[in-house]
Structure 1
């Protein structure tokens, strides 16, 4: 997972581990991630927090007053708590929302303040910073170019591409009743996905839409299911598993022959799937 973070974000995570060891804590929680971000004074996260009146010294004092110090002899590599893992996973999603190729320290901070039940967010509230206030400030800073990202990450920023596959017609056995599933019937699949594209002009630098089409069609044509939602979920999972470069995919599956006593052109279900 960490290979999808910028160099500075990875450094902040290492510093968070150091903060956990400094406090003799046998885990890395959201509070340690916050301190790791603050230790990088030149980063967008630290600058955002400083602009809101939060310093490393004050944050350390507040966090220590809340959680205290542990006993000597804690692990050299303390594990991340489920909540801190969640924060890091959602930081990757924040990067996707900003169409950034890598998650930076700013994305981690945005994810931290949105995890309102975490120790980091609670500590910030005690220091006079609300989640809403912090979210607005960091979002404003993330919408402009910032030197926080490495040169490599910045070069890839414009290479996050959105592609659409529209009107893929497949025939599969789908329906609640046995009669509906007796013969294959037509489904329409629309797929929109975001992926990282390379800078070259070769097929290996992108996601081959032909391969995506064939994979999705092959999956549905060999499957049998009762609900459209089942087919939709299978397509979403299959696309993310089969194409590592794809960051997220929105899948719409439409049943064209609807067994109701009304005139209707189709019934659709749609969902977005993210890593």
Structure 2
């Protein structure tokens, strides 16, 4: 499916993974997708979000606040590392060897997995793109997919940033229509 994403959309997905890893999360939720979209320069979704007053720093702070309030811990993948350690596998040594062989940062463990809400949002991306007559999925389609899925902490972050999801959807669709003409 990811081969159908535009370069900017793929970059936004990489940014969302980077946000999850940086924050010590072993999952990628809609909240991380949102941060990736906000952080993507010269992208439709990023531009519309910033025009609506959604700044990356504030969104990240709101996300952390919401996750902490929900009791979601930033484990940095420690449970997975502990499980491998119990089998005699030293993840830090594997990382060290991979860095020496393939370059710094070549090995990151654990790789965060998408939550069910994020998967649903990405599935909705396809629906949104097709509804607009597109074969490739841009950042705008990811944002529309997230909004139309109607679930996930990304929507809670938007609400905490005082952004109306319906108004945001209209703004994205207006931008898409303007750019198409």
Query: TM-score, normalising length from structure 2?
Result: 0.76
Separation of aligned partners in 1, 2:7 and 2:110:
22
Which residue of the partner structure matches residue 94 of structure 1?
128
Match of 2:179 among 133, 142, 145: 145
- What's the secondary structure of 1:117's corresponding residue? coil
Deviation at 1:72, TM superposition (A): 3.2
Deviation at 1:110, TM superposition (A): 1.0
Whether 1:71 aligns to 2:75 is: yes
Gaps of 5+ in 1: 147-275
Deviation at 1:115, TM superposition (A): 2.8
* Residues 70-123 of structure 1, C-alpha deviations (whole Å, 9 max, x = no match): 023454411111111111111111111110120100010111122333100111
Separation of aligned partners in 2, 1:100 and 1:145:
13
- What's the secondary structure of 1:128's corresponding residue? coil
Deviation at 1:139, TM superposition (A): 0.6
Separation of aligned partners in 1, 2:75 and 2:117:
22
Structure 1 moving runs of 4+ over 3 Å = 72-76
Separation of aligned partners in 1, 2:58 and 2:178:
28
Which residue of the partner structure matches residue 132 of structure 1?
166
Instruction: Determine if contact 1:98/1:143 at 8 Å carries over to the other structure.
Output: no
- What's the secondary structure of 2:112's corresponding residue? coil
Report which of the two has the higher share of strand: 1
Report which of the two has the higher share of helix: 2
* Residues 6-56 of structure 1, C-alpha deviations (whole Å, 9 max, x = no match): 111111111111111111111110000000111112211111011111100
Higher relative contact order (CA 8 A, sep 6+): 2
Instruction: Determine if contact 2:26/2:76 at 8 Å carries over to the other structure.
Output: no
Query: TM-score, normalising length from structure 1?
Result: 0.51
How many residues are matched? 146
Gaps of 5+ in 2: 79-108
Which residue of the partner structure matches residue 12 of structure 1?
12
Separation of aligned partners in 2, 1:92 and 1:109:
11
Return the index of the structure with the highest Cα Rg.
1
